[in-house]
Structure 1
């Protein structure tokens, strides 16, 4: 391993982190305990620990297992918010996007080009053109641009840039830039960044109750989902970053006031890259009657979405229906020259957006103080317990700063946020590796595409992955059933990235559940055999992980053939993602 040893989320490190959390007693509490391991929780833990605070972070499932691994994978300013005249929000998101590209996470966030087609020559060019011009102008105020300026495309140039567009419908277009990332890997890197700065972090650790001294929350009682052990973690301040599970946690805390969070489902499908011709790294954005349609280049695939429909079932059981998939294909076909069919769909993933508003939960009770922006809300739901929900992935750093500022005002005043200047792990040394990428490719026999993929996944931490190959050259060979990934990557997922189960590796450290038609099932046994010895699995445990994953994917596929959310949720909810604890 490199000098970043403290950040490595090894199996042994999890045991150590749990011991440190267990040691947070009433006499020696943590400064901050964060509940929820999505981007908001991971960001808050990173923010708090870089302030010099003692921090704990717990997550019921895997890091980013909920909404934060199921986004459109964009870091963007939110062009559509200009229609709502929300200039402050767009300006904030653009500043954050550029900060990530240029300083804090250049290895995880990269520019991407979009074509916005016009279907009414005069009206669209004037309306969309003025909006994007304003969008671009807001990126140039007081700072150097991180991405190129937009340009208008006449009909012929539009088809040259994106031949897959329907030239009989689109009369021209506008080309502009935003950025993209791998959402699940980004969150995991935030967790590692928090650990590097001495936060104690533990996935598969659920909150089963909140501790009180009088009316004040002073921590939580948690359960290690792998052993069943329960213990208390005391903290001066607790932050709830539960996303669509926020209300469940507020109820568990017995909060008199809180946030009402409604869930909206968004689904995406993946399509082989050669089905839609376009110049490299160029996507499409257009509006539908219900949402925004993105056709996004993702390595050898297109990610196409999204939908926006209410979800009233258990958030853990979210899944796509046949109608959802047809909706996405129908709206993609409305702008593409060649129609896509269900046979073109390689993978599908579904996530829930948290839509929220502050509410009084008990008549006559005194609400905690509240900080509200258009996109996120921070609220004291009980003394000592602050909740944050909503927001955009792009502005996670601002949200983290807001909630930590809010939570520690009484106990730890005068500790400003440092995350505007402290990079996410893997950023330092990244540019040197980029300069050396040809030498890396020659030494390890990688083609340019694989080298670029590895740099985008790991940044400077690629050196750790390559060190595994130096120790065992067989790890430098691709997985037999998933050749986009090296055997070393599967091993590194459990040695350094906190993966505890087969599904963690196949769905979030790699993305085989939507990058292969078999959804990662064919690679399951090979990966289980690689990682099993690291996690202490015997042959029976390995088989159990493989069979559980196969059953889970089968349930998701059944959900995709269903005709209602109720049916899809019932299918998915009947099968666990990871083997139950014995």
Structure 2
């Protein structure tokens, strides 16, 4: 059986974090970077705690393009070491760390002019070479191939005839980003990390010598505040980096700006194609990504100055993506084809750091720094290289001590990875026993890997869990049950936003399945009727507000529409400490 994190373990974690023993490392932020740091620190044998003010992965780490990739664009900048690092991490995830979660995906890079083929071909060939150098256990991906115009249209029939002269087919990978974060958190917990969501940092405490020595945190479920003592506090809050640093009362720190990127979701049958597309636009890169039963199309890249908690796609954002997709599609899509959207914020690290910052590790992608003694901050980076970022952050926090406690996460498989091949060999039996389709079994293996056995144990005790949800049949009732028993669900929105993708992969955002989902969660967590009705009403109001925001034109209008509905566990405004 695998480690379960629950509302009860959350309370136990908060109790343990605030005991007299204190922590070696307190991680602030439950996105992929913070989760990776918690796993890295815990597997070094450090007493580690991690808190997140919202649900796990609720910020940038559930709103990405969901790609694990080396970054072709960095080849244009001649940053070969950065591409090699990302490709090494990509292949490590696919082969060893998370083979159930991270899957190879073929992409086409259309060739628009005859002279582009040797130029682009050489770049993608170098991409393959960099992925091969130093790889363990052989290549994780097939080598690239050149496609004629005829072969291109066979692979992607709905590409317009005049869109390209041919293409180069290469491989990268995709991942359900929120599931990756949750699995890293649970894996960290299995090695002793104390994990508590819906817990907000409200103050950084200091010793008499002025060193950060812990934090005051607020349980947003109860309103209770606790003091947590920690030798090292690591800030991994992404677009909230500067706000978090302000609690230290120092002028030093990292500077981060938010850039908004949105994606739209279109049913798979609406566009004929078997591979993904990557296209350059005047403002960003456009991806058309095959994802299960639908296509994910994005993204944008625009400055964002509103509330970072609730970025949403505006009508202008959606129209921009549709327009650029239609520039290459033979059968143009329209707003009526869009069944879901999401918007996320990239934390863009700004050149240089504020005066007084001691910066130890700077790359084009991320920086680790110390705004003040006892506090480490990390910002920038991307999903693919989260493990390297985590290692850099913990190394820097520990200083010389890191030599005797080196990172070992490159050898730590995530929950669901060990025994994956053995469970895969049982798929035929599962199909016959429960009448599940091959697609359903693939879906389960992709989400849970060998931890599918935990779902099977629950089904043995409660056979009706083997049935699909009536109004969201891509998911089993067992998956909702598992979220409530193993994945620290505190609210209904946690299930619809981050334990499943129902918030954007069906047109009603899960409204139709709400009664059934709420009943399953309530049975596990002991909710009464009043609690169930409040949770359902909160989700419907949130969906209505998001829909209203999508009809606006500007981010200011969208923010006003979205903030018309209160959060079910709202974050508290922070009061920056006076500079010392």
The normalised TM-score by structure 2 is 0.96
For the pair 1:206 / 2:200, whether they are aligned, the reply is: yes
Which among 75, 87, 92 is matched to residue 85 of structure 2? 92
Q: CA RMSD in A?
A: 1.3
For the pair 1:274 / 2:269, whether they are aligned, the reply is: yes
Aligned residue for 1:259, secondary structure, equals: coil
Q: CA shift at 1:421, angstroms?
A: 0.6
Q: 2: distance between equivalents of 1:551 and 1:455?
A: 33
Q: 1: distance between equivalents of 2:371 and 2:521?
A: 41
Q: How does 1:41-190 map to 2 (within 5 A)?
A: 41-120=34-113, 122-143=114-135, 144-190=138-184
Report what 1:486 is aligned to: 476
Q: 2: distance between equivalents of 1:178 and 1:411?
A: 36
Q: 1: distance between equivalents of 2:353 and 2:365?
A: 20
Q: 1: distance between equivalents of 2:470 and 2:62?
A: 25
Q: CA shift at 1:229, angstroms?
A: 0.6
Aligned residue for 1:62, secondary structure, equals: coil
Q: 1: distance between equivalents of 2:62 and 2:213?
A: 30
Q: CA shift at 1:127, angstroms?
A: 2.2
Q: CA shift at 1:359, angstroms?
A: 5.2
For the pair 1:394 / 2:384, whether they are aligned, the reply is: yes
Q: 2: distance between equivalents of 1:289 and 1:267?
A: 16
Cα pair 1:18 1:200 within 8 Å, conserved: yes
Aligned residue for 1:264, secondary structure, equals: strand
Q: 1:514 to 1:66 in 2, by over 3 A?
A: same
Cα pair 1:551 1:575 within 8 Å, conserved: yes
Q: How does 1:486-525 map to 2 (within 5 A)?
A: 486-525=476-515
Report what 1:461 is aligned to: 451
1:198-257 Cα distance to aligned partner (Å, 9 max, x none) = 000000010010110031001110011111110111011110000001111011221220
Q: 1:168 to 1:243 in 2, by over 3 A?
A: same
Q: 1: distance between equivalents of 2:376 and 2:411?
A: 25
1:275-328 Cα distance to aligned partner (Å, 9 max, x none) = 11123xx21111111111100011000000000000011101211110100010
Report what 1:374 is aligned to: 364
Report what 2:441 is aligned to: 451
Cα pair 2:267 2:295 within 8 Å, conserved: yes
Q: CA shift at 1:88, angstroms?
A: 0.9
Q: 2: distance between equivalents of 1:141 and 1:37?
A: 33
Q: 1: distance between equivalents of 2:543 and 2:356?
A: 46
Q: How does 1:345-384 map to 2 (within 5 A)?
A: 345-357=338-350, 361=354, 366-384=356-374
Report what 1:333 is aligned to: 326
For the pair 1:300 / 2:293, whether they are aligned, the reply is: yes
1:448-467 Cα distance to aligned partner (Å, 9 max, x none) = 00000000000111110111
1:505-541 Cα distance to aligned partner (Å, 9 max, x none) = 0111000011110111221222111101322321111
Cα pair 1:8 1:495 within 8 Å, conserved: yes
1:31-62 Cα distance to aligned partner (Å, 9 max, x none) = 10100000000000000100111100000000
Report what 1:13 is aligned to: 9
For the pair 1:264 / 2:259, whether they are aligned, the reply is: yes
Displaced runs of 4 or more, over 3 A: 358-361, 410-413
The normalised TM-score by structure 1 is 0.96
Q: CA shift at 1:169, angstroms?
A: 2.3
Q: CA shift at 1:499, angstroms?
A: 1.4
1:403-455 Cα distance to aligned partner (Å, 9 max, x none) = 00000115665100000111111100111111221112212221100000000
Q: 1:488 to 1:451 in 2, by over 3 A?
A: same
Cα pair 2:395 2:402 within 8 Å, conserved: no
Q: CA shift at 1:574, angstroms?
A: 2.5
How many residues of Structure 1 are paired with residues of Structure 2 in the alignment?
Answer: 568
Report what 1:217 is aligned to: 212
Report what 1:252 is aligned to: 247
Q: 1: distance between equivalents of 2:359 and 2:148?
A: 53
Consecutive unaligned residues in structure 1, runs of 5 or more: none
